Amino acid sequence: KAGVTQTPRYLIKTRGQQVTLSCSPISGHRSVSWYQQTPGQGLQFLFEYFSETQRNKGNFPGRFSGRQFSNSRSEMNVSTLELGDSALYLCASSLRRGTAQYFGPGTRLLVL
């Protein structure tokens, strides 16, 4: 089975812009979670989607949002980018809620 795929792999944006990141889960997996990884804060949970509904949200501002489609693919959006949003954004999929999560390679976002 193909693993979790994320596009794009790298992005450079400027402050104030917005960005959309995409995640395709492992075939058959219905739950998708997003995480932000930075050297200072480590891995932090952003949100979780299951059956096209956000089930859980981490402690991030409303500029961070996401959605899930009927085929379980997910997107996350960050509006009004700030320098501090520079990070590796990881997507993880699991068969269903609460089961083991498998991570994609991430999208590295640099905000200038």
Partner 1 sequence: AQSVSQHNHHVILSEAASLELGCNYSYGGTVNLFWYVQYPGQHLQLLLKYFSGDPLVKGIKGFEAEFIKSKFSFNLRKPSVQWSDTAEYFCAVNVQGSGNTGKLIFGQGTTLQVKP
Q: Please give the residue ranges that form the binding site for partner 1 (CB under 8 A).
A: 31, 33, 35, 42-45, 48, 50, 55-56, 58, 90, 92, 94, 97-98, 100-106
Residue 77's closest CA among 49, 42, 112, 41?
Answer: 49
CB 100 to partner 1: min, Å: 5
Q: Please calculate the CA angle 47-52-88 and round it to the nearest 5 degrees.
A: 35
Closer residue to partner 1 in complex, CB, 21/90: 90
Say how far apart CA 35 and CA 42 lie, in whole Å: 10
Closer residue to partner 1 in complex, CB, 48/81: 48
Q: DSSP assignment, residue 26?
A: P
Closer residue to partner 1 in complex, CB, 81/87: 87
